[in-house]
Chains A and B, each alone.
Chain A
Amino acid sequence: MRRCLLALTMLLLAAQPSRAEDWQATVAAARGQDVYFNAWGGDEHVNDYIAWVGQAVQDRFGIKLTHVKLGDTAEAVGRVVAEKTAGRLEGGSVDLIWINGENFAAMKEQGLLHGPFVQDLPNFQLVDTVGKPTTLVDFAVPTDGYEAPWGMAHFVFLYDSAKVPTPPRSIAELLAWAEAHPGRLTYPAPPDFIGSTFLKHLMIATIADPAILQRPVAEADFAKVTAPLWAALEQVRPALWRQGASFPASGPALHQLLDDGEVDFSMAFNPAEASSAIAAGRLPDSVRTFVPTTGSIGNTHFVAIPFNAAHQAAAKVVADFLMSPEAQLKKQDPAGWGDSTVLALDRLPAEQRAQFEALPRGVATLAPDQLKPVLPEPHPSWMTEIEAEWLRRFSS
């Protein structure tokens, strides 16, 4: 599948000249349009970055970008659904969505996305689809050109080195630590994506053959495969923060608990998040990060355009700008968001490559080789089942 897509991309790259004209037409059509960018708004670094993008596309392309801040990406999916429900097949209110994983799978499956469009974007040629295969396969679901890669995520654990001198080396050690120190560990309540990803790590650690996670859950015996996961969660539950009777709402809420000293660990999907939070005074200086020696999950986050988006041309121009070396460089700067690039640095001009390489690494950020190995995301159908089962067990 992957190779197939690559071949397709190459083929499309070969047809350059007419596509360049098409792109000029798209850029021309985009001028003066609004773009309602529906993106999770729970992190001020991300919000600041999107505000910067808004200014940049206004200056360059005459596009007025509005950040519609979501508490959960599902809200935007719901909005598109409500519009389809009401028969609004064009002129929809969502132009661009920050998306990946189960939300993408759901929208793609129900035909709620515009595309394929990604191969039309000039900057897509710079994306490292070989070294970063998750830019083409999102949670085991092929993107098929329906979403444009935006950034690379990598799950890390945060810990307060003042209270935990040597971090655990595995999930099992982390849980054992929690049992020895009651009340000092918790995770965001699924379906928050940080909480769900924590469960995925636990599942990968407790499962005999992780390969089955790459296929739809229907092909496996869910109850049997996940029994060890629930056993482990139930066992550690009384030793969790608030005896496992309540859970924080999100990753940032967990960071706040770490900052307040209510817990000793947190989690993030961005290896640089801890460093930028320390720089902003939002976490103690003593916070560091680790990944289990068996590795942690890495994925890509994307932007997609709903099938009924009112301003598709401008949405494409913004999606392309997000992949531009300039925007990617700004995004990776640890003084701001610090989100890793999707680009292949060797395809960039020497000067830009040097700028990427010159970016400082934050005090709590692991080096790229310390983050390995990268574990693949399970098929999204697993997460749907796991979140439902978690709610059944922990929420009544």
Chain B
Amino acid sequence: MRFVPATVAHGQLGRAQPAGTARQPVRGRWLRLIPPLTLGLFLGPILAGLLGTILPAFGYLPALGGERLSLAPWRQLFAAPGLQAASQLSLMTGLLATAIALALTILAFAAGQGTRAFRRARRLMAPLLAVPHLATAIGLAFLLAPSGWLVRLITPWLTGWQTPPDMSLLQGPYGFGLTLGLVVKETPFLILMTFAGLGQVHADRHLRQARAFGYGRIQAWLKVVLPLVYPQIRLPIYAVLAYSLSVVDMAIVLGPTTPPTLAPLILRWFSDPDLTLRFQAAAGACLQMLLVLLAIAAWRLAELLIARLARPWLTSGGRGGSGRLGHWLAWLCLGVVTLLAIGGLFALAVWSVAGAWRFPAAWPAELTLATWARHLDLLARPIATTLLVGLAATLLALGLVLGCLEQEQVSRKPPGQGALLLLYLPLLVPQISFLFGLQVILVRLGLDGTWLGLIWAHLLFVLPYLFLTLAEPYRSLDRRYETSALALGKPHWQVWWRIRLALLLRPVLIAAAIGFAVSVGQFLPTQMVGGGRLVTLTTEALALANGADRRLVGMVALSLAVLPLVAFAVALALPAWRFRHRRGMASGG
């Protein structure tokens, strides 16, 4: 213990010392292994999976008789019925959804930043984000179907309809339903990412200055803050774009059916008993990745173009008006998005306790717990698997992320832009483009359908989100707390555990809740790696979504939505309870 002050002098207080001469050599060496281990754990499967997809796309898959490289799979792919329409649909829905979500985000901040109502709205975004995509999609379907709740509410007194109208946003040929679903889910994500980005660029100060120069609220934000904050949210936007272009579960529920968007079409080929379609599917998975790259490149080009075209406007000195119209428009759009998301969840809940509820009744003839009573045992296994995999993947990811961040503190080397890009890799590469290859590898290793394989697959997606959420609070914690503790003679691990982690309890738990929510929502990794043996609420809900009794679907989808919300509630309540006697900790670190 006596050595401790010396270590402190060496590691903590010795700011002038060259970086890298870490505190305790043993601890440093051990910690130093974590970042490469983390990268290996999550880049390895992605790269191997990509290779395992690219080779069959060029005809190489010896087990199926593909011994030499050829372009036949691509010829087969381009001759496949519906390919062109499916690709166009994917591009259109993906680009449109991202553009609308971004426009809503910008509008919301331009009109609302700094107002109290907006700060309150921020708190609503996290739970909206936590609800898995699939649950939101099923809720929207219950609301928006021609015989859905919204039509029932105005029928027949307003519409005069005796039967549901023969038209629909959902599953229609233009993918409007899918676009809407994506907007509802991705807008909260972008809003939260923008909040995080604003902290980095001292937006409030700039905004005040611009306002002082007489710029209107909206113009000030667009002209001063947006150019600063956009680079901060560029990667999240690309992630949204990649996700929207290649989503499977939402597309199956809300998207067009004949043909579907590209990713579900590829999935159909992958699971076709005609084995020659595997090569075509692998080529399709490569095409999916090319589409994403193409879309990102096009987006980047548009960014440059808009930046160039907007220059005269930026410097024209126009102050703009009060922005009242923009204000109302922002609240209207955000209100609709939020109401749709929450209304969908409400529809799930009502259907799960509905007795007979036939069109055009606006409310069930009776409410009953019969569905829950009858099918509760059906939920037990999926809930157990969801919880176990989610908790395990989250804990693992949390350990790795904390290790990486601490190593960063020790070595004083914040990771560069390259590392950030690597972190985003699982969010930018379409899942379907590497999961097939990964599946083949896992089967070979005997890891398919095992807990280990599934937890690992979830880790790929949990880890980036956890890192992105936790990095900022971790890095910005004032080091002097620890320094004082070390000076008081406590060993490193105790200081880390009792000071740093305690101070960061709230952000750590919130990051963990987000990681858990990400795991709960994973469909394709669970489907392909779980091999049907390990079923989660998400795979169960999707299996039921197209056709099973709405009461049952409502019950499963509601459970799916509630699980991450509970995690969030715990993440908020635990620090409050833990620090109930310490007023200084009440608002959290």
Contact = CB atoms under 8 A, between A and B. Distances in A.
B147 A262 contact: yes
B273 A249 contact: no
B532 A395 contact: no
Contacts of A43: 548
Interface string A245-274: 111111111011001111000000000000
B439 A395 contact: no
Interface of B: 61, 63-64, 81-85, 145-147, 163-164, 166-168, 171-173, 256-259, 270-275, 278, 355-356, 358-359, 375, 377-378, 439-440, 443-444, 446, 448-449, 531-533, 535, 540, 542-544, 546-550, 552
Contacts of B257: 189, 246-249
B171 A71 contact: no
Contact of B533 (A66, A83, A388): A66
A261 B164 contact: yes
Contact of B448 (A93, A256, A262): A93
A74 B443 CA distance: 18
Contacts of B168: 242
Q: What 10 pairs between A and B have smallest CB-CB spacing?
A: A252-B547, A260-B147, A86-B443, A183-B166, A85-B63, A392-B81, A253-B547, A68-B532, A395-B82, A249-B546
A79 B532 contact: yes
Interface in A21-63: 36, 38, 41-44, 47, 51
Given A77-B273, A282-B549, A260 B85 contact: no
Contacts, number: 160
Given A84-B63, A106-B274, A245-B172, A261 B147 contact: yes
Contact of B544 (A42, A247, A260): A42
A75 to B, nearest CB: 5
A391 B443 contact: no
Contact of A253 (B81, B258, B278, B546): B546
Contacts of B64: 81, 85
Contacts of A17: none
A76 interface: yes
A42 B533 contact: no
A125 interface: no
A78 B444 CA distance: 15
A396 B85 contact: yes
Contacts of B167: 242
Contact of A261 (B163, B271, B532, B548): B163
A315 to B, nearest CB: 15
Nearest to B360: A261
A68 B273 contact: no
Nearest to B436: A82
Interface in A85-104: 85-88, 91, 93, 102-103
Nearest to A243: B166
A260 B547 CA distance: 12
B166 A241 contact: yes
Contact of A246 (B172, B275, B439, B443): B172
B384 to A, nearest CB: 13
A106 B271 CA distance: 13
Contacts of A36: 532-533
A260 B147 CA distance: 6
B443 A395 contact: no
A81 B439 CA distance: 12
A93 B449 CA distance: 8
Contacts of B278: 81
A259 B167 CA distance: 17
Interface string A221-256: 000000000000000000001100111111111011
Given A85-B64, A189-B257, A44 B549 contact: yes
A29 B359 CA distance: 53
A13 interface: no
B546 A106 contact: no
B547 A86 contact: no
A54 to B, nearest CB: 11
Contacts of A44: 375, 548-549, 552
A70 interface: yes
A69 B358 contact: no
A110 B533 contact: no
Interface in A273-298: 280-282, 284
B546 A78 contact: no
B173 A74 contact: no
A156 B191 CA distance: 52
21 contacts: A42-B546, A69-B535, A79-B532, A81-B275, A85-B440, A86-B444, A93-B448, A103-B273, A182-B166, A183-B166, A242-B172, A250-B546, A260-B358, A261-B164, A262-B146, A262-B164, A391-B259, A395-B259, A396-B81, A396-B82, A396-B259
A146 to B, nearest CB: 15
A395 B163 CA distance: 27
Most chain A CB within a 10 A radius of its CB, from B83, B145, B543 = B543
A317 interface: no
A78 B549 contact: no
A237 to B, nearest CB: 11
Nearest to A282: B549
Most chain B CB within a 10 A radius of its CB, from A83, A84, A384, A394 = A83
A72 interface: yes
A36 B449 CA distance: 11
Contact of A245 (B147, B173, B272, B355): B173
A71 to B, nearest CB: 5
B51 to A, nearest CB: 15
A78 B271 contact: yes
Nearest to B535: A69
Contacts of A242: 166-168, 172
B547 A87 contact: no
A107 B146 CA distance: 40
Given A42-B548, A396-B259, 20 more contacts: A43-B548, A44-B375, A44-B548, A69-B540, A71-B542, A77-B271, A81-B273, A81-B278, A85-B440, A183-B166, A242-B172, A248-B257, A249-B546, A251-B547, A252-B546, A253-B547, A261-B163, A281-B356, A391-B259, A396-B82
Contacts of A70: 532, 543
Contact of B270 (A78, A250, A282): A78
A234 B159 CA distance: 32
Contacts of B552: 44
A395 B86 CA distance: 9
Contacts of A68: 532-533, 535
Contacts of B446: 88, 91
Most chain B CB within a 10 A radius of its CB, from A41, A249, A284, A388 = A249
Most chain A CB within a 10 A radius of its CB, from B145, B359, B533 = B533
Nearest to B85: A396
A103 B272 CA distance: 9
